[in-house]
Structure formats: structure tokens, C-alpha cells
Structure 1
Amino acid sequence: MKYLLPVYELQIGDILMVNRYDTTANWIREKTNSNYSHVLIYRGDNCFLESDGLGVASVNPYRLLFDKLEDVCILRLKDTSKLSKIAQSIGNAANKIGTSYATPLEVGRGMDCKDERMVANQPNRQFCTRFVAQIYKEAGLPVVKNADYCSPKDFEDSDMLFKLNISLLEASEEQIEFANEKNPPIQLLTEATFTFFDNVRTLVGKDIQTFPQLDEFLRLNPKFDEQITKILEKTDYLWVGDLERQLNSHLYDFDSFIQYYGFENALNYSLSELPHEINRTANFKNSIEVYKKLYDETSLKYFDAHYKCYQKQLQFSQERFTVFSQVVMSNHDY
């Protein structure tokens, strides 16, 4: 038997505590006396953010399978009036996708730290609990005593969180197949991002971990523009959106969409995705504005490449939105 999360019950800021059974996970549970070994945070839009062994990445909740009911716990903030602050902080944290994982020594300090005053030795690196704790700290919510060094146990014991009473769903064969199949767009984007920053750090000799950090570096060091742009173009980063559109072409045409899902499933899919698509559109428009301004100020090729990439992503998002809207509006015809 395999289990899935009831994603429809999640809200932005929910903390997912999970068990893994590799050597590191076993060590974390033993070292911290915790019931869990890994922590993720729900971003909304059917997306978790986490910092795993590679670094900060996004995770599709429908690809998270669990063998045991007790391997999962959802923690939620008690004060729901603070959710807007959490949403903004999570949005900022998404800029850290691609950030490298902290060294084993730094992670070990995090699992063993009892001093609330101790500050991070590697403030530009992340591990799972630090990543989530810092999101809450930025929102003015100290859910753990030390956001730089904390363990899963610290979240379990937090007075600001409560355990959500949810029931996992039994996964169908189709859902298990979907969860286990490779997801080229997300996988390629993650690999491309990590590869890109690894090469950039080698080139410039700086511990640059995020796109905002790189944006600022290039503003001050435009001589690296052409080299860094070439590094970006050699990865799949700029083309992942095109691949997603190719693989999921049924999402971009009304008739194909209905044929692929059947009308009832297409309607449910559309109703669930329309709010997420609105959020994506807003995010793409914001990124377009940011990179257009940077390009207008500097004329750097790197900023122009990002500007054009986000323009294309906005176009794809609007195409999907049109199809979903058509399905909803045509409900009375079926």
C-alpha cells in the first residue's frame, strides 16, 4: 500500500514532516530524538519547497509517496492572521532555489546546537530545518529558538505550531505510476539551476547561491556578462518551459484537453488550477518587470535572456488560463 497527501487540505506555510530511512535520516532521528528526519514547507500552487542533499528545490506533492501512515506529519501555524506574512516570506524563499546544501559539519551543528545565540557558519547555505525556520523568522514568527541551527524535534516541540489531523489517501495504480515517473521539466530545471550556479561560482570565485545575488553581482561586475550568459545558455534553464509545453500540449488546446481527461476530470482540473495559474501569471509579470528594468539600466545580455524567458513563460501561462477558463464556461454545454 502506498499513500499520498490530501493536497486539497493544505494551506500556505504548512510544514511537512516526513520520515526517510537512509543513513543520514536515521542519524538525525537518533541524534535529535525526533520522530521525523526531513522538513518541507508548502508554497501553495501544488508545490513544496525543501532543501535536500543537493540544495533548495521545489517538489510536486503528487510525487510524494509514503509507505507508512506514521511517516508523515503536517504542522500548521496556530495564528492564522499571520498567513499573509508567511506567503510573502515563502515567495522570497523561492528565490533560493538552486542554493547549495550546507556541509555535513554545518548540518551536524544544526542537529546538536543548544545555544540560541549561535549564528550560522555558512549563512549562504541551507539544510532542511534551517531553510524552513528562516522563512518563518523572516515573517516575524520565531517558531524555533534558533533559525540558523535547529532540528525536526524543534518544530515538533514548537508552541506556535499544532499537528494537523489529516488522513493520507490510498494511492491508485495510476497515481503511483505518476509519482514514480520522471518529470523532465522539474528535473531538468533543478539540475540546470544547480549546474549553472556551480559553474558561475567557479568562474567568479564567489559563493553566489541565488539569482538575486547574481543579479547584484553582475550590476557591479558587468565584465562577466558574456561568460555568465553563455553558461546559462548551455544549460536547459531557458528552455524548460518549451519542453513542458511540448510534453503537456493537451493543456494548451481546448479540444485536446477534453479528449485527454474527459469533461468531468477536465472541469475539476481546471477549477483547481485556475487560482494557481493566476498566481503564476502575477509572478511572471513581476519577474518581467524586474529584468526589464535591469536590462534597461545595464544593457547586459544576461538580464535580457531572463526578460525574454519570463515573457515566454507568461505567454504559456495565459494560454493555459484560456483553456481552463473555456472549460469552466462551457460546463453548461455538457
Structure 2
Amino acid sequence: MDKDYIIEFDQVLPGDIILSADRTLSSKGIRGITLSVHSHAMICVTHACCIHALRSGGVQSINLQRRLFAKPEHVRVLRLKTPDPDALQKACDYARSQIGKQYSVPDALMSGTKGNKVSNRQYCSRLVAECYAYGGIALVPNPQYCTPKHLGKSALLTVVNVTVRKATSEEITFANSPDPVAKQTAITEDMFAKIRKVTGADIQTEDGLLAFLAQDSRLDAEIASIVQSSGYLDMWKYEVIKNKWRYNFDHLAAIDLPPDKLEALCHREIKGADEQLRIFRHMLRTAAAAYKAHSLDYAEQMAELYQNLVSITEMRLDSFQRALAGLRG
């Protein structure tokens, strides 16, 4: 069966949980083992962007415009019954901090048991439950071993009637086109695999690597060399090249959009840029403080990376603010 349904992603808010299923053998197997209607869970962190854990690539982001479903009933959106902006922001920040962490098949198979967490890994429903737990909200009794079914039955969540409709041919073409996130995921996965081999430590994320080097800096230069040669520090350049309209006002001005659609685009992009600036500035401060405290080559690399990300995001913000001001005359 073709996948030709898409979520009306403008209706999905940060913090929303998306449960899904499909007709693959792995999905059917997970549903059978966990006694769930759904086999997968992900958390929305910003407009049209979710974070989830997959067997291939571990924890990664996904553009909802690239997620198609075979049937409308294969997808369900959950939202907190009582809004808590601070908790949701913490949940989304935690999700971002987990990007790059490996997927655990054994832990996923044990989901629904009463065991204790056995690895520094993630699987989809654990990731979502832990995000909320980090924000101070216990969606389920045991975040380490929960299933999509547990999330769906949480008394703190309610089902949101989000539109799931037939995708247009253009939307299907885009969803099936090469995804730049796949390249970023491969770079990240390869880099951390090499770092784990060199250190002999179970390092999964940027935060984990920084904490490791702060305790023992003897491998700092070797790790910095791995990071430099991996392409990790240059991933942002692909985004700028591919989407020049987002970072250059002249390219943005050349887009032929009706005023109402351009205004809606400006508001979305400004909101997204503001949120990214908050995150990137925090990461820049963290890396700069680590460099000042420990003189780590890796921390210096991260500080430079996040300074670049701050700079291009400020360009993005400026472009859309100028465009919005032009619409208002």
C-alpha cells in the first residue's frame, strides 16, 4: 500500500507527541510484542520538525513534510491536557540534546517490563517519556521502559484532532526526495563511532563528550582531529547553500508569493529563528565556558561552530524581519 497521507503540520505544536504505525513487518512485530496499536513515537520540537529514535541512525530530527502514512488511522497526535510552556521547552531541549545517541534494540524489546534502564541508548517511546520527565512531567510510571501504548493511555495527555489528508503530488515528491538530515545523521553517527573507539567510553552526544574531556583531556587533540575531519563542523553550510532564500534577503525578495502567504512564512521563520538563537547562544556559552576552564581544543571547535550558527541565524532573522516590515509598508 502506498504512503500518500500527510499530517497538516501547521496544526502540530512543540511538545506534541506523534504516535504512528505502518504496514511493515517490523512495525507489526513491535505492535505485537508491546500490545500497542502504534509502533513508533516522536516529539515535535518546533514548526514541522520532530525528533525521534530509529534503528538506523539513532536519535535524529525529521521534517514532518517528509513523513507520509498509508492510512489516516496510522497516526495519532497527543498533547498535554494542561499547558506548561516551561516544561515543554525543557522537554524539547532534552530531545535536542539526545541527537546522535544510538538506538537500543534490546531495550526496545524490553519496553513494557518493570526492569531498570540497562544502557546509555534510546528507543522511540523511551525518548519521548524521558523528554517529559526531564521537564518534570511523569507521563508514565517508568519512562525507561514504556511503549507507545503507555503514552497513548497517559492520563496527562489528550488526543488532538489534527488533519491527516491525502498529500499532493508535489508533497509526495518532496517527501521522497533526498533528505539532507540523512547525511547529517551519517556524519554524526560515524564521528561518534570513531570517538567511542578511541576513548573506549560510551560517548553518545556533544554534552557527553564535553563532560568526558573535562574529566580527562589527554585525548583532546586526537578527538579534535576526528571532529575536524568528519565534516561535523561544516554541516550547517549545506543548509545555507541549499536554502539561500532563508539567509539572504535578496533571494527571499525574489520568491513570488502572495502577500498573505509571505506574511505567514515570515512569522513562522521569525519564531523559528528566535528559538534557534536561544538554543545556539546557550550552546555557545557552554562551549566557551568549557574552553575557558579547560583549554580544550574540542571546546574551541564547538564554540566556533555555535558562533557560526548564531551568525547565520541572525542573518535569517534579519531577512524575514525586513520582509515583514516591507509588507507592512
Q: Could you tell me the TM-score, scaled by structure 1's length?
A: 0.92
CA offsets per residue over residues 265-294 of structure 1, 9 Å max, x none?
Answer: 433321211111011112111111111111
Q: Please give the secondary structure, in 2, of the residue aligned with 1:20.
A: coil
Matches within 5 A, 1:1-334: 2-53=4-55, 54-80=57-83, 82-102=84-104, 104-111=105-112, 113=113, 115=114, 118-122=115-119, 124-184=120-180, 186-262=181-257, 264=259, 265-332=261-328
| 2:165 partner letter | L
Structure 1 gap ranges (5+): none
Q: Please give the secondary structure, in 2, of the residue aligned with 1:223.
A: coil
Q: CA-atom RMSD, angstroms?
A: 1.6
Counterpart-to-counterpart distance in 2, 1:70 and 1:301: 50
Deviates more, 1:172-181 or 1:237-246: 172-181
Counterpart-to-counterpart distance in 1, 2:219 and 2:22: 41
1:105, CA displacement in angstroms?
Answer: 2.5
CA offsets per residue over residues 182-236 of structure 1, 9 Å max, x none?
Answer: 122x222211111111111111111111111110111111111111111111212
Query: How many equivalent pairs are there?
Result: 325
Counterpart-to-counterpart distance in 2, 1:260 and 1:129: 40
Counterpart-to-counterpart distance in 2, 1:91 and 1:331: 33
| 2:193 partner letter | D
1:98, CA displacement in angstroms?
Answer: 0.4
1:99, CA displacement in angstroms?
Answer: 0.4
Q: Please give the secondary structure, in 2, of the residue aligned with 1:260.
A: coil
1:260, CA displacement in angstroms?
Answer: 2.9
Counterpart-to-counterpart distance in 2, 1:261 and 1:56: 36
Change (3 A) 1:3 1:262: same
1:263, CA displacement in angstroms?
Answer: 5.0
Counterpart-to-counterpart distance in 2, 1:277 and 1:67: 33
Q: Please give the secondary structure, in 2, of the residue aligned with 1:110.
A: coil
Structure 2 gap ranges (5+): none
Counterpart-to-counterpart distance in 1, 2:51 and 2:300: 27
Change (3 A) 1:234 1:21: farther
8 A contact 2:16–2:77 mirrored in 1: yes
Change (3 A) 1:169 1:258: farther
Q: Please give the secondary structure, in 2, of the residue aligned with 1:222.
A: coil
Counterpart-to-counterpart distance in 2, 1:251 and 1:9: 22
Deviates more, 1:168-177 or 1:323-332: 168-177
Identity fraction in percent: 27
1:332, CA displacement in angstroms?
Answer: 4.1
| 2:124 partner letter | C
8 A contact 1:196–1:231 mirrored in 2: yes
Counterpart-to-counterpart distance in 1, 2:167 and 2:226: 41
1:109, CA displacement in angstroms?
Answer: 1.1
CA offsets per residue over residues 128-170 of structure 1, 9 Å max, x none?
Answer: 1111111122222221121111111111222111111122133
Counterpart-to-counterpart distance in 1, 2:215 and 2:291: 14
Q: Please give the secondary structure, in 2, of the residue aligned with 1:101.
A: coil
CA offsets per residue over residues 293-312 of structure 1, 9 Å max, x none?
Answer: 11112222111111111111
| 1:121 partner letter | V
Counterpart-to-counterpart distance in 2, 1:267 and 1:90: 26
